[in-house]
A and B are shown apart, each in its own frame.
Chain A
Amino acid sequence: MKAAVVVFPASNCDRDVAVALEQSTGQAPAMVWHRDSEVPDVDLIVLPGGFSYGDYLRCGAMACHSPIMRDVVDRARRGVRVLGICNGFQILAEAGLLPGVLMRNAGIRFICRDVHLRVETADSDFTGRYAAGQVVRIPVAHHDGNYFADADTQARLEDNGQVAFRYSDETGDVTDDANPNGSVGGIAGVFNEGRTVLGMMPHPERLADPALGGTDGRPMFDGLAAALD
């Protein structure tokens, strides 16, 4: 599998995700600057975490108009897999590749800690190495991770099985206490309709190596590498 990581000004997880991708695919991803107009011919495009453009106006609002995003949107529409993590999720939502929007955390504070997630479906290239209902531990680090979509959109997401992950307790119960940021339905990650684009606030690349304290994030990259080989 060939992958590319888009680097925006103030991306700060681009190298972390490159390390995780190389670990699973055996080759370093292409690093693509946001001012470039074309992504190389790859199977997976990753929009990494960070604070692109200082989160000015709204998180992801500026980055989604970067020159490279025209090609990212084009490729996504043609079925190239796209993964947006944290700021990458915010950018995909602003770009209209994913429904909904990420708002300021309900508790106002920046949150940086491990959370538990319940995997909602294993039926995607991103989650194929997990089991539906499995609980994983993945870190979050965000100020604006409060996922919101109107009631009709939420119903559509549920009906189509587009919810990838929900915040849960360690037994897999989705409760208000386990929801760190006020996201509707405890939603931590969503797919597009074809499940070829995934946005998620938690950072699987930050727990993909035993030296980092855990490996619950690694199956995502191993699964993508196997599915897109």
Chain B
Amino acid sequence: MRARVHVTLKSGVLDPQGKAIQHALEALGFGGVDAVRQGKVIEIDLAETDAGKARVVVEDMCRQLLANTVIENYAVEIAD
């Protein structure tokens, strides 16, 4: 079973890398880019076969390591 974790900055937290990407896109001629926020995607292959149990474990991983909840939100997606 594969879990995909999306880690994103909380709204209101400055994202200088996202800003730099936005400026680079504008420099390339892409118009109408209002904002860019950069995050991370982490894919985890699990031995667990029960989606509910897998979600519980991965959410614990997020709290303990994968995200810093002072500045980041996380979302867990469980794929079959």
A pairs with B: yes
Q: Chain B, interface size: which category?
A: 10 to 19
Q: Collect the chain A residues with CB atoms within 8 Å of residue B68's CB.
A: 58, 61, 94, 101
Q: Collect the chain A residues with CB atoms within 8 Å of residue B65's CB.
A: 57, 61, 65
Pair A149/B14 contact, Cβ less than 8 Å: no
**Interface centre among B14, B65, B70, by most A CB within 10 Å?**
B70
Q: Collect the chain A residues with CB atoms within 8 Å of residue B13's CB.
A: 103, 148
Closest chain A residue to B42 by CB distance? A57
Q: How far is the CB of B14 from chain A (nearest CB, A)?
A: 6
B16 contacts chain A at the CB level, 8 A cutoff: yes
Q: Collect the chain A residues with CB atoms within 8 Å of residue B66's CB.
A: 57
Q: Collect the chain B residues with CB atoms within 8 Å of residue A103's CB.
A: 13-14, 16, 71
A217 contacts chain B at the CB level, 8 A cutoff: no
Pair A148/B71 contact, Cβ less than 8 Å: yes
Q: How far is the CA of A65 from the CA of B63 in the complex (A)?
A: 13
Pair A150/B20 contact, Cβ less than 8 Å: no
Q: How far is the CA of A104 from the CA of B13 in the complex (A)?
A: 11
Q: Which positions 1-27 of chain B face chain A at CB distance < 8 Å?
A: 13-14, 16-17, 20
A161 contacts chain B at the CB level, 8 A cutoff: no
A105 contacts chain B at the CB level, 8 A cutoff: yes
Q: How far is the CB of A44 from chain B (nearest CB, A)?
A: 26
A157 contacts chain B at the CB level, 8 A cutoff: no
Closest chain A residue to B64 by CB distance? A65
Cβ-defined partner of A107 (8 Å) among B16, B70, B71? B16
Q: How far is the CA of A150 from the CA of B68 in the complex (A)?
A: 13
Q: How far is the CB of B66 from chain A (nearest CB, A)?
A: 7
Q: How far is the CA of A150 from the CA of B70 in the complex (A)?
A: 8
Q: How far is the CB of A54 from chain B (nearest CB, A)?
A: 15
Pair A101/B71 contact, Cβ less than 8 Å: yes
Pair A148/B16 contact, Cβ less than 8 Å: no
1/0 per residue, CB under 8 A from B, across A89-102: the answer is 00000100000110
A182 contacts chain B at the CB level, 8 A cutoff: yes
- Interface positions of B (Cβ within 8 A of A): 13-14, 16-17, 20, 65-66, 68, 70-71
- Interface positions of A (Cβ within 8 A of B): 57-58, 61, 65, 94, 100-101, 103-108, 146, 148-150, 182
Closest 6 CB pairs of A and B: A101-B70, A106-B16, A108-B16, A104-B16, A108-B20, A101-B71
